[in-house]
Amino acid sequence: MRLGIIVAMLALAAGPLGAQASGTVLVLPASARAAGVGDAAALVSGTAGALFYGAARLPNERAASMSAGSWIGGAQLASFAASMPAGGRRVLALGVQSLDYGSADEIVPDPLSGGKTGTATGDRVGANELAATVGLAERFGRLRFGMALAIVHQQVADVSATTLAVNLGEGITVGGWDIDGSVEHAELPHGARAARTFTLPATYRGGVTTPSWAVGAASWRGIAEYRWIRDAGSTGLAGAEGSYATGAGWMLQVRGAALAYAAETERAPWSAGGSAARGAWSLDYAYQGYGALGAVHRMGVSWRSRPPHDPSR
């Protein structure tokens, strides 16, 4: 049996998320904006990245967003999404998420050492996960609904598996308050052998976002969210985002959140980030610590065909 160091990398990477064996790419922040507030779905409102959070908050216009950054263990995480009007109040979106664990020397273990030592074969093995998603959103007055279908593929050395997942989202705006809920990464039943061994991180999420309140020259909004991930437990967060418009036409934003985890984890109990936007473009950054495992840095870029606004307000 082949044995590579990459297996240890996967075990290390999965640790902070619980004993999640498959689909890790689905539960990592798909947006630098969301990552700055503990991966809160509300922070992707009005961007193409909303595709990965139930799709209900997609903007009714042409938009695109991408993000990239490091993850623990030297892995590289990236995402891209684009949305466009599909007639009436419908919006169609396409996106890709990728998690590349890199590669390592392939080792054949020595049975006399109990697997503690081995011999290099001269080959290298790698591991990666890829999810391609298509979604549709529609609004009915204050109500919004979304649905997305994802094809998820995992490759570890020469072993691979592929399965299908579905995301459903809905929300309502009342008096400027946004209330949202979603079911994400639910596995569709089908007869493929790979699907029976590919455990997806089914996620249930609910959140509330306040209206924007003026405080001095800036405006602020609060965010609260609760989510439960299969095999990883629950997470609650409370956060805020502040915005300040400069006389030179820039929109500067800062955001952060305090998080509480039900399960033991290396993740820090807070995250922070910021954005600098001008016109239809926004440059985003997020940071979260992982204790002895280091820190995660995310950068992102968003574009919209019209000046930024939140259509729910």
Distance (Å, whole) CA 231 – CA 236 = 16
Predicted pLDDT at 250: 95
Distance (Å, whole) CA 200 – CA 189 = 12
Dump pLDDT digits (tens) for 76-116.
999 999 999 998 899 999 999 999 988 766 666 767 666 56
Percent of the chain with pLDDT over 90: 63
Q: How confident is the model at residue 246 (pLDDT cuts 50, 70, 90)?
A: very high
Cα of first residue to Cα of last residue in the chain, in angstroms, is: 58
Query: Which residue reads 């640790």 in tokens?
Result: 15
Q: How confident is the model at residue 255 (pLDDT cuts 50, 70, 90)?
A: very high
Residue 48 clears pLDDT 90, i.e. is over it: yes
Among 9-18, 117-126, 223-232, 240-249, the minimum mean pLDDT is found in: 9-18
Predicted pLDDT at 113: 63
**What is the mean pLDDT of the segment spanning 255-263?**
95
Q: What DSSP string runs through 1-27?
A: --EEHHHHHHHHHHGGG-S--S-HHHH
Predicted pLDDT at 2: 37
Predicted pLDDT at 88: 87
